[in-house]
Amino acid sequence: MTSHHNALTSPYSARLAALRAALEKRGLEGFIIPRADEHLGEYVPESAERLAFISGFTGSAGLAIVLKDKAAVFSDGRYTLQLENETDGALWERLHITENPPEQWLKHNAGGRKIGYDPWLLSAEALRRFTGVELVPVAVNPVDEIWAGRPAPPMAPAVPRGVELAGEDSAAKRTRLAKVLAEAGQDVAVLTDPASLAWLFNLRGTDVDFCPVALGYALLRADGTAVIFMAPEKLPLQTRAHLGNEVSTADRAELPAALAALAGKTVRYDPASMPVWFKTTLEAAGAKIAEGPDPVALPRACKNPVEQAGARAAHVRDGVAVTRFLAWLAQAAPGGGETEISAGEKLLAFRAMGETFRGESFPAISGAGEHGAIIHYRVSKESNRRINPNEVYLIDSGAQYLDGTTDITRTVWTGPGPAPATVRDHVTRVLAGHIALAMAVFPEGVAGPHLDAFARSALWQAGLDYDHGTGHGVGAYLSVHEGPAGISRAAKTVPLKPGMILSNEPGYYLPGAYGIRLENLLLVREAEFASQKRKFLRFETLTLAPFDRALIEPSLLTPDAREWLNAYHARVQEVIGGRLDKAGDAAVLAWLEAASAPI
């Protein structure tokens, strides 16, 4: 495939030459450029889009290595085409990150040589995988040096989140965590995930798209006090007052001195998720590193009753928007006039009508026909196409409301003709898996990897499967992808706990034809039995919007599954229908009544 870029007119050739000159000046023979920001998070600010600046590649996962005489850019199977389209083959080898791991490529092409890396952009674990070269940390990223017009790092203010939304004040949270640290014999914990700061200090922000965090770092001490490292302009007076006396603030520039003061202390640090800069700086300071996961991750995942109530309320508003959208689509789709982009915009507009709507929780995936089979499809002006009559259309989207984060996928048949039997067979198997997981009851101690098969069994019985996890954690007005628990064979064996919110999204994808995914969010709750010797858990489905009955083959569902589906649809009709206006929304109500009728 030829590149869309022309080496003579694109800026990337000059950028690469400038970077190589900068490396030469520092005595480096190469440099590693991951797609990452200084928090190693999923959503990165524009100022950290170094991979896109140097290579042109804008995918959400990747890494480049620039040597004196060659360069390579790596990404995964989701981005094979995009990588080819966005980068110049004359400048870059374009490689699959698991089939041709960058670590091997580097060892092979630059064995023994001095290779630079930015210690803020790689975790200790990621760095450890690079072997056979001499790795040299840089104090200033050379890409930033040559990046004329680099956007300034975001400076949005961190704003307090009241206890009426957070459900627990920061002092209580810090006391809980302090006990965990003290019991583990740890003096201090490093926090680098902005979502951990957001939860621990009851703060939110707007520094990055989709996830309402303020970028910063913190040190939490075993006495419950803490210090937040954030630019002063991000911390208005009102926020400082909210933080109280036990939480001090300092500029990020003070971080090295603060770590240097930890000589002799035992400091908790996560080598998997935190920049290696913290490790080397702590070691140089004479601190003792206790490896362990971010102590905020587990308590943050277990939503308290106020957060649970917020999630329920947000899902009702989101369900109203999605229902309006589905009713609109049922009218619009058979005509064939709408496109993937216009449909996505329509849904966004319905959501924006909702109280406390703050934006999307991730870029919506709006895929018609064969585009639906591309699991992480992101429609662009170039790829946008009409939604045709009589095809499968998939839309995976979510929203941030002040009281909760949503994520829902529906797959619909555009009509007006009936859906083919094979499509209904595939959809119904996906639905059977979705329902099996939604109905699961299990004792405490069970983790996501132990439940994943419930969602796949009906597909497996037909020799079918899907190549992604079944569920990810979802935050409380925080990241739509939140650890530490997940429902997937590859997920960590973190036992599910009451209050966790996880997605339930089995799918099936027929490349070149269509994609199916049915996603609701689940809340983990205690199950109650008459004479129970141990604690059992079950799921409450939070998401409220009809599944397309045109794609369901009732005879393929067990009686229990049919009962679940009918009860779910009855609840959707009662709750969502109850929020619609009998006069103004008459058409939506009529559609909803038919869409949620029992099968």
Binding site for its own copies (CB under 8 A): 440-443, 445-447, 449-454, 456-457, 460-463, 465, 489, 527, 529-532, 534, 536, 558-560
Nearest residue (CB) to its own copies, 238 versus 422: 422
Nearest residue (CB) to its own copies, 2 versus 531: 531
CB of 558 to its own copies, least distance (A): 6
Nearest residue (CB) to its own copies, 226 versus 500: 500
Tokens for 107, please give them: 């060892």
Q: Is there a cis peptide before residue 554, judged by omega within 30 degrees of 0?
A: no
Burial class of residue 104, CB neighbours in 10 A (0-12, 13-18, 19+): middle
Nearest residue (CB) to its own copies, 167 versus 448: 448
CB of 433 to its own copies, least distance (A): 13
Sheet holding 134-137, edge to edge: 93-96, 71-75, 63-67, 30-34, 114-117, 134-137
Query: Hey, how many other C-beta atoms are within 10 angstroms of the C-beta on 81?
Result: 12
Nearest residue (CB) to its own copies, 228 versus 487: 487
Nearest residue (CB) to its own copies, 233 versus 526: 526
DSSP string, 421-486: HHHHHHHHHHHHHHHHHHT-EEETT-BHHHHHHHHHHHHHTTT---SS-SEEE--SSS-SSEEEEE
CB of 355 to its own copies, least distance (A): 38
Nearest residue (CB) to its own copies, 291 versus 460: 460
DSSP 76: -
CB of 446 to its own copies, least distance (A): 7
Nearest residue (CB) to its own copies, 530 versus 583: 530
CB of 145 to its own copies, least distance (A): 42
DSSP string, 476-524: SSS-SSEEEEEESTTS---B--TT-EEEE--EEEETTTEEEE-BEEEEE
CB of 507 to its own copies, least distance (A): 15
| Separation between Cα atoms, residue 107 and residue 98, nearest integer Å | 15
Distance of CA 441 to the CA centre of its chain: 26
CB of 442 to its own copies, least distance (A): 5
CB of 462 to its own copies, least distance (A): 7
Nearest residue (CB) to its own copies, 339 versus 457: 457
Q: Which of 356, 321, 308, 358 is nearest to 501 (CA)?
A: 308
| Separation between Cα atoms, residue 464 and residue 429, nearest integer Å | 9
Strands 266-269 and 288-291: parallel
Strand partners for 219: 190, 227
Distance of CA 575 to the CA centre of its chain: 28
Nearest residue (CB) to its own copies, 442 versus 568: 442
Q: What is the CA radius of gyration of the chain?
A: 25
CB of 466 to its own copies, least distance (A): 10
| Separation between Cα atoms, residue 358 and residue 301, nearest integer Å | 21
Query: Hey, how many other C-beta atoms are within 10 angstroms of the C-beta on 450?
Result: 17
| Separation between Cα atoms, residue 237 and residue 276, nearest integer Å | 32
Q: Is there a cis peptide before residue 45, judged by omega within 30 degrees of 0?
A: no
CB of 465 to its own copies, least distance (A): 5
CB of 453 to its own copies, least distance (A): 5
Nearest residue (CB) to its own copies, 348 versus 510: 510
